[in-house]
Structure 1
Amino acid sequence: MKFVSTRGNVSGIGFIDTVLMGLANDGGLLIPEKIPQITAEKLKEMSQLTYQELAYEIFSYYVDGEIPENDLKELIEKSYATFRNPEVTPVKKVKENMYVLELFHGPTFAFKDIALQFLGNLYSYVSKKTGETIHILGATSGDTGASAIEGVRGKEGIRICILHPFGKVSKVQELQMTTVHDKNVLNLAIRGTFDDGQRIIKELFADVDYKHKYHLRAINSINFARILAQTVYYFYAYFQVGKEAGTKSVNFSVPTGNFGDIFAGYLAKKMGLPVGKLIVATNENNILERFIHDGVYEPGEFRSTFSPSMDIQVASNFERYLYYLLDEDPTAVSALMDHFKSEGKIVVNEEHLRQVKKDFAAHGVVGEECLLTISKYYTESNYLLDPHTACGVAAYETCNEPSEVCVTLATAHPAKFNESIERCDIKQTFPEQISQLFDKPQYLEVVDADKEEIVRKIETLFSSPAK
C-alpha cells in the first residue's frame, strides 16, 4: 500500500511516512494510491468480529505490514481499553428504522477519541522506535483539542500545542483542554474563529523546512490516520444494524464541519460497504450543504451556533473528496484549489454536480431547529441528543425515506454542551469525570490570531526540555 497527494507531487510513500507527514509536502492531502476492495464474502466474515478485531482487519489493508502484527494488535487494544463501553461504539435503536451510533464513550466523551487514542499511541510507538521528539500542532473547534491532549499526555517524547477559538467552544470543551497542567502541553486561545486557527496550522505545515526543523506532526483530520480510524465504526454499525434489522443497505446521517467524519463513510463505501445515502448534516455554517445542493463551494458569514464544533466555514477534508470527484486527477485538483485560494470560491460543472448529488444528501439546521429536535426526542423517545447529534437527526428526518434504515452518528455526550441542553429546559446529570473539571484551575494563554505571535509561543514550547 502506497499513498499519494491529491495535488500529485508526493507519491509512493508508506503508511508510517503518511502519518508523520500529515499534510502532504505539496500542500495537498494524502490518500491511498488504490482503495482496498472488500468482497461480500469477506464482509460476512468481518461481521462476526469484535470492534478491536474489526479495527485490526481494516487497518491492516493500509498499514500493509509496516507495523508487525502483534505490535498493531497491541496498539489497538491499548487505544480502546480506555473506553467506557466494551463495544467501543455501541448502536442504540431509537425508533423503527432509526438508530444512533454512540461515539462518545472515550475519555473525553467525543467521537474524536476513537481516532486520537489510536494516533496518540501510534505517535508514541514511532517516537520510541526513532528516538525523535514529536511536536504535535493542531487547531480545534472544541473536541479535537481535548481528545488529542488526552491521547498524548504523559507519553514520552511528545509535545503538543492546540489552538482553539477563545469564547467559541463550550465550557466543558474548554475545561477539558485547559485544566491539563503539563509542561509538554500548550493551550492557546486565539481571538478569532476556528478557521483562523486552521489556516495558521495549514500554513505552518505547508512550510516544509519549518515542519522538518521541528518534526511537526498533525492531529487534525488532515492526517489520514484520523480518517482510517473513523472508517471502522461505519463497518461496525452496519454489521450491528444488519443483525438487528436484517437490512442489506444502511444510510448514515453525519454531523460534520470539517468533512472528515463524512469522508470516512465515503471511504468505507468505496471499500465495498453497502452504504445507501450519506447525509451531510451541518448548521448555519453550511458551506457543505450549499455545495451539495448547488455545486458552489464558497465560505459565507461565520455564525456562532448551538452546535459549536461544526462552526467551520472551510472544510479541510473537502479536497480529498474533490480528488475522487475529479477522477483522481491531481492537476485538476491543484487548479481548483489554486482558484479557491485566489478567488475564495469553487464551482463544479453540471456533470460533477450530478455525481455529488449521487454521493451525498445534505441538510443545514437553522435557528431553533436544533433545540426543537433535542426536545422532541427527549420527550418522545427518552433519548437525550447533544446539539451536533440533533443536527444529524434533523438531517435524517429531512433526507431519509421512511422505508430506509438510517444510523445517525452521535458525536458527543450531551454533558459537553449543557448550554444548549439548558435552553431546552432539560436538566441532565453530568458524568463524574466532567463534574470534576469545574473545580480545577485552568492553564491557557489568550493570543491574537496572528501567525508570528503563535510561532513565538510554540517555539518556546518546542525548545523546552521534553518530559
Structure 2
Amino acid sequence: MKYYSTNGQVAPVSLEEAVVKGLAGDKGLFMPEKIATLSKSTIDGLKDKSFREIACTVARAFFGEDIEPDTLDALVKDTLSFETPVVPVRKNCYSLELFHGPTLAFKDVGGRFMARLLGYFIKKQGLNDVNVLVATSGDTGSAVANGFLGVPGIRVFVLYPKGKVSPIQECQFTTLGQNITALEVDGTFDDCQALVKNAFMDETLNNHMALTSANSINVARFLPQSFYYFNAYAQLDRMGKAGEMVVCVPSGNFGNITAGLFAARMGLPIKRFVAANNRNDVFLEYLNTGKYTPRPSVSTIANAMDVGDPSNFARILDLFKANEDVHKAICSKISAYRYTDEQIAQTMQTVYSETGYILDPHGACGYQGLIDSKLTATETGVFLETAHPAKFKETVDKILSSDIEIPAKLQAFMKGTKQSVELDKDFVGFKAFLLRQ
C-alpha cells in the first residue's frame, strides 16, 4: 500500500516511510491510496468477537499488505489491554466510554499502537535514535508519552501550552522522565502544533536528528481510533440497536472523527456523524459558509478541543474530493454544533441530576450535540466520552458540587515531580533547543 500527501506535491511512500516521517515533505498529511471495504458478513460477525479480535480484523484491512498478519495481530493485542464499553445514558442514547486505558483517555489506543508500530519499523531499519515530536492540548501528550515510555531508541518531546491543560493531564507527561521530555510553551496548542510542523520542514534540524510525529497527523496514530467505532457497533448489534447508528464526536484536531469516517468508508453502517465544537468552531463555520477560516484558539473548560486550525480537516476534504460539490457532500454526512463553557456546564449539571451519569466537559459537548441533532425514533445515538471526568476534577467538582474519586491510575501520576523545559512560542528558540539535544 502506498500513502500519498494531501497536498499532492511529493511522490507516494510506503507505510513504513509514512509512519517514520509522520508528515509529508510538502507539509501534507499522508492518506492511503485505497481504503479496504469489509464485507457485510464480516461486519455482521463482529458482534461475536472480542474488542481485540475486532481490532485485529480492522488492522488487517488497513495494514495487512505491509505487515505479516501474525506480527500485526501481536502489535494490536499488545496495544489493547482494556475495553471501551457502551453505556446507556438515556433512551437510545449511549456513551462510548473510551477512558479505560492506562491514561484514562481515548488516545491510549492510538498512542500505544503507534509506539509499537514505530518501534517495529525502527528495529527493522536498525535505527537507534529517533525523536518523536508531539503537540498536545491535553490528552495526546499523556497517551503518547506513556505509550513510548522506555521504548529503546526513541526520545519523545511533548509540547504543551502553558497553563492550558488540567493539572492532572499535565502530571501525566511531566513526571515520567526517562526518554520523555516535556516542553512547556508560552502559547496555545496551535502554536505548539506549528512548532512541530515547522521542525519537520527545517533542513538543518532534519540533518541533525531523525524526527517523526505522534500527533494524529501520523497515520499510525489516528487510524487505530477506527477500532472504537467497530467495537461500538458490535456492542449495539448485540443489543439489537445497531440499525441506524448516529455518532457524535467531541472534536478538536479532528483525528477521531476522521477515523470514524474511515470506518464508514470501510463499510461500517454509520448513518451520520455529528461534530461537537466548543468555542473553537471553525468547522461549524465551514459547514455553514463553505469557507474554512482558521484562527487562534481560545481557552475553554473543554481544553482538549481548543484547536483553531485542525490538521485533520485536510483529510476530511480529501475523503470527499471525488464529489462534484465537496462542501455539500461533507454537509450531507456531518453536522456540527457549538457550545460555550456555560452551556457545557449546564449539560453536565442536567445529565448528572437527571441520570446520575458524570460527564467530563468534552463528553458533555458530545452528549449535547447528539441531543441537538434530534435523533429520530429509529436512530440509536452514541456520543464519545473521551476522557475520565477525574482528569478535570477541579472543573467537574465545581460544576457538579461533587468530590469525584480520583482513580488509582491517576493518583500514581500525581505522586511524581514535575519536570519541564519552558520555551517561548517562537521557532528560533525551539530549534536551538533541539539542536542542543
Normalising by structure 2, what TM-score? 0.95
Q: Which secondary structure does the structure 1 equivalent of 2:20 belong to?
A: helix
Where do residues 7-22 of structure 1 align in structure 2 (5 Å cutoff)? 7-22=7-22
Shift of 1:300: 4.2
Alpha-carbon displacement from aligned partner over 1:100-126 (angstroms, at most 9, x marks no partner): 111111111111101111111112222
Shift of 1:445: 1.3
* Counterparts of 1:212 and 1:105, CA distance in 2: 40
Where do residues 136-155 of structure 1 align in structure 2 (5 Å cutoff)? 136-155=132-151
* Counterparts of 1:188 and 1:421, CA distance in 2: 27
Q: Which secondary structure does the structure 2 equivalent of 1:3 belong to?
A: strand
1:420 corresponding residue in structure 2: 395
Maintained 8 Å contact 2:284/2:336: yes
Q: Between Structure 1 and Structure 2, how many residues are aligned?
A: 434
Letter of the structure 1 residue corresponding to residue 87 of structure 2: K
1:285 corresponding residue in structure 2: 280
The reply on whether 1:43 has 2:15 as its aligned counterpart is no
Q: Which secondary structure does the structure 1 equivalent of 2:71 belong to?
A: helix
* Counterparts of 2:290 and 2:318, CA distance in 1: 15
- Which of residues 124, 135, 144 in structure 2 aligns to 1:129? 124
Letter of the structure 1 residue corresponding to residue 132 of structure 2: I
The reply on whether 1:379 has 2:374 as its aligned counterpart is no
Sort the Cα spacing of 1:450 and 1:300 in 2 relative to 1 into closer, same or farther, 3 A: closer
The reply on whether 1:173 has 2:169 as its aligned counterpart is yes
Where do residues 41-440 of structure 1 align in structure 2 (5 Å cutoff)? 41-81=41-81, 83=82, 88-132=83-127, 133-182=129-178, 184-207=179-202, 210-211=205-206, 213-300=208-295, 302-327=297-322, 351-403=325-377, 404-424=379-399, 425-440=401-416
Alpha-carbon displacement from aligned partner over 1:266-300 (angstroms, at most 9, x marks no partner): 11111111111200001001111111222121134
Q: Which secondary structure does the structure 2 equivalent of 1:105 belong to?
A: coil
Sort the Cα spacing of 1:34 and 1:28 in 2 relative to 1 into closer, same or farther, 3 A: same
2:435 corresponding residue in structure 1: 459
Q: Which secondary structure does the structure 1 equivalent of 2:422 belong to?
A: strand
2:29 corresponding residue in structure 1: 29
Shift of 1:211: 3.4
Maintained 8 Å contact 1:293/1:362: no
Maintained 8 Å contact 1:378/1:384: yes
* Counterparts of 2:256 and 2:206, CA distance in 1: 26
The reply on whether 1:5 has 2:5 as its aligned counterpart is yes
* Counterparts of 2:305 and 2:241, CA distance in 1: 33
Shift of 1:385: 0.8
Maintained 8 Å contact 2:287/2:331: yes
* Counterparts of 1:243 and 1:439, CA distance in 2: 41
Letter of the structure 2 residue corresponding to residue 89 of structure 1: T
* Counterparts of 2:219 and 2:152, CA distance in 1: 23
Normalising by structure 1, what TM-score? 0.89
Maintained 8 Å contact 1:21/1:217: yes
1:334 corresponding residue in structure 2: none
Maintained 8 Å contact 2:233/2:242: no
Maintained 8 Å contact 1:400/1:406: no
Shift of 1:238: 1.0
Shift of 1:226: 1.7
Alpha-carbon displacement from aligned partner over 1:305-336 (angstroms, at most 9, x marks no partner): 110111110001000111233328xxxxxxxx
* Counterparts of 1:46 and 1:206, CA distance in 2: 42
Sort the Cα spacing of 1:126 and 1:285 in 2 relative to 1 into closer, same or farther, 3 A: same
Maintained 8 Å contact 2:29/2:315: yes
Shift of 1:2: 2.0
Query: 420-429 or 167-176: which moved more?
Result: 420-429
Maintained 8 Å contact 2:253/2:307: yes
Q: Which secondary structure does the structure 2 equivalent of 1:164 belong to?
A: strand
1:339 corresponding residue in structure 2: none
Letter of the structure 2 residue corresponding to residue 443 of structure 1: Q
* Counterparts of 1:302 and 1:6, CA distance in 2: 24
* Counterparts of 2:340 and 2:199, CA distance in 1: 34
Shift of 1:209: 6.4
* Counterparts of 1:10 and 1:236, CA distance in 2: 35
Alpha-carbon displacement from aligned partner over 1:325-363 (angstroms, at most 9, x marks no partner): 3328xxxxxxxxxxxxxxxxxxxx9x4332221020100
* Stretches of structure 2 lacking an aligned partner (at least 5 in a row): none
* Stretches of structure 1 lacking an aligned partner (at least 5 in a row): 329-348, 462-467
* Counterparts of 1:324 and 1:124, CA distance in 2: 29
Query: 389-398 or 289-298: which moved more?
Result: 289-298
* Counterparts of 1:421 and 1:250, CA distance in 2: 29
Shift of 1:263: 0.6
Maintained 8 Å contact 2:189/2:297: no
